[in-house]
A and B are shown apart, each in its own frame.
Chain A
Amino acid sequence: MSKTSVVYATIAIMILCVILVPLIAYLFGSWTAYWGHALLAIVFAVIAVFLRTKYYWEAD
């Protein structure tokens, strides 16, 4: 896969993580939503750092 495809695919997953937050709250509620939100946030965070370190790394 080219760099552009990977970047777009991972950004799409990040957007999906955001969209799923209110959906999970609405559909499941309770602890599933409470900790599910945290899990989605962690996935989002890992992808953000992956993009930074793999494709947008800044050497001084």
Chain B
Amino acid sequence: MADPTQVGPEVAFGVITAIVTFLGISILLGFFMRKKAGSFEEWLVGRGDIGPLVTGFALVATYLSGWAIFGNAGLGYAYGWSGSWLIGTTCVMGMALVLVIGYRMRRYVALGSRTVPEMLKIRFDSRMVQALAGLAMIVLLIVYSVGQYKAMATVWTITTNMPFIGSLLLTAIMVLIYLVIGGYTGTQWVSGFQGILLTIVGWTLGISALIWAGGPIRIAETIGMEMFTPPGGSPTTIPLKDFTLPLPPPEGLAFPGVDYVGVAAAMLMFLFMATGFPHNIARFLGTRKITKREYWMMLLLLIIGGLTPLWVGVAGLAGRTMWGDTLMGLEFEPMFGDSAAVYASLGAGGIPLASLFAASVFAAAVATLAGMTMIMATNVTRDLVHNAFPKTSPKKLLRLTQLALIPFIAIPLWWTFTSPPPILSEFMAGSAVAQAGIFFFVVGVSMYWKRATKWGATAAIIYGLSLTMFHPKAYGKLIGLNHWGYWALTLMLGAALVYTLVSLATKPLSKEKLDQLFHKSE
């Protein structure tokens, strides 16, 4: 197998140039839109005048985090075909659901909400639900942030030969800079631009890698002969040729593709998570009224953008074809198979593609990180502090938000520093299951189901958060819950059941209040 690790200084130059250019465009767009906006709130969600093109690509950008644009190659590389369940070959289904469900968010903007927890406060007339949702978002987004750190630090380490720890710190600094200069993708326009970039680069990477590795037939033949190698371990006799990978229990059961129970859970996760990601459905907060024709146009954009993760997965399969299990060796710790994307971009397209790919990972990882850090900080100030002490001055709230940025940058940084996940997408799926299970119902379904109550929503959030702790790689193994599929199904279906039953058993909002939220025909 060829050696993928020969990376010279010219690569670092190309990568830095691409990232600086991307950063410059994002900041310019951010500043321009900030100048146009009359207030901070207008800057966050616009004036409700964002069209289908920008909303569509903004949705693509928030959906394609470091997991999809970067980690999917690691999945294809490490797990072969069975990695496709986390690559999200069916993710377009979930993206269609958020398109169908999310449009109603606009109704809550008209009623004064600017964030997802605020929308819940209005829907349930409950500050408790707002605070609880804010808290749940903080916990789950911290986990999600760990994956973003690993994605960007891996790209930086490989392309500049900087030690992984140094790359991690640099990523944190870049996030801070990105936040300080105001380009944290609060505007739909910046997100829209990123969505276009991610889509173009993802497709280019996948198609180039397919050709580079000798075409689809050669890739299929090679994957069919490969055996599974755990990160830092020795090759096993478990073949990669099938869509399930029967890894040995108990540790092996934590892999979603281990059997068809895990597969069913992964499919359900992808069905719910595009709607369940609060940062995703929030894209509709700034959307203007759109026509049926524009709705179809948005679907087309989501399909094109939604196929991007599959192309990134192809790059991982191509990498496995070219290098066998080389990247699973200890010399690639802690990046392991996740480094496949960077090496494949270099191998398939040289410095230009590797540079563009690095800028894309920067867009997906650092911008997402910055956005999430900002969301978590505002969860503290708007949904917790301001909720409990409504008389707190805006100036104090702003200072508190700025202060809260520090721990939300530091906590995931420390986590990635002390125990970086070997395969980041597998790790991030844990948080995705919880976000899907909780918020698909609490946010998505509640906008359409009049009978939903604040107690149903509260119970679902508490249940979902509690079950999250019993992830097979966290506390689940202590109670014998080693199987990812059973855990994920228990969390998502359990949250649905708890939400429905508790809602039916408790009193909904008064008719007068519901009439403000639902039209008479609904």
Which residues does A use to contact B, with CB under 8 Å?
17-18, 21-22, 25-26, 29-31, 33-35, 37-38, 40-42, 44-46, 48-49, 51-53, 57-58, 60
Given contacts A22-B267, A52-B295, whether A29 and B243 have CB atoms under 8 Å apart is: yes
CA distance A18 to B96 in the complex (A): 14
Contact B267 A21 (CB under 8 A): yes
Comparing B86-94, B195-203, B390-398, the segment that makes contact with chain A is B86-94
Given the interface pairs A45-B302, A52-B100, A53-B295, the reply to whether A34 lies near B89 with Cβ below 8 Å is: yes
Of chain B, the residue at the smallest CB distance from A45 is B96
CA of A58 to CA of B447, assembled, Å: 13
Please tell me which one of the listed residues B243, B295, B310 contacts residue A38 in the complex, with CB atoms under 8 A apart: B310
Establish whether residues A38 and B296, one from each chain, have CB atoms under 8 Å apart when the complex forms. no
* B228-262 contact mask (Cβ, 8 Å, vs A): 1 or 0: 00000000000001110000000000000000100
Contact A29 B81 (CB under 8 A): yes
| Distance of A40 Cα from B220 Cα, bound (Å) | 21
Q: How far is the CA of A29 from the CA of B243 in the complex (A)?
A: 6
Q: Is the interface of A mostly helix, strand, loop or mixed?
A: helix
Interface size counted on chain B using CB atoms at 8 A: 38
- Where the two chains meet, the residues of B that have a C-beta atom closer than 8 Å to any C-beta of A are 81, 84, 89-93, 95-97, 99-100, 103-104, 106, 216, 220, 224, 241-243, 260, 263-264, 267, 271, 289, 292, 295-296, 299, 302-303, 306-307, 310, 313, 519
Q: Given A29-B243, A41-B90, A45-B302, 10 other A-B contacts at CB below 8 A?
A: A18-B90, A21-B90, A22-B264, A25-B263, A26-B260, A30-B81, A34-B313, A41-B92, A49-B99, A49-B100
- A-B interface, 6 closest residue pairs, ranked by CB to CB distance from nearest: A45-B96, A37-B89, A25-B243, A41-B92, A48-B96, A53-B292
- Residues from chain A with a CB closer than 8 A to the CB of B96 are 41, 44-46, 48-49
Do A34 and B307 contact each other (CB < 8 Å), given the known contacts A44-B93, A52-B100?
A: no
Say whether B241 contacts A29, CB under 8 Å: yes
Task: Please name all residues of chain A whose beta carbon is closer than 8 Å to the beta carbon of B106 when the two chains form the complex.
Answer: 60
A22 to B97 alpha-carbon distance, docked (Å): 20
Pick 26 A–B contacts, CB within 8 A, sort by A. Answer: A18-B267, A18-B271, A21-B267, A22-B243, A22-B260, A26-B243, A33-B84, A34-B81, A34-B89, A35-B89, A37-B90, A38-B89, A41-B91, A44-B93, A45-B303, A46-B96, A46-B299, A48-B99, A49-B99, A49-B295, A49-B296, A49-B299, A52-B99, A52-B100, A53-B295, A53-B296
- B220–A30 contact, CB under 8 A? yes
Indicate if the CB atoms of A31 and B92 lie closer than 8 Å: no
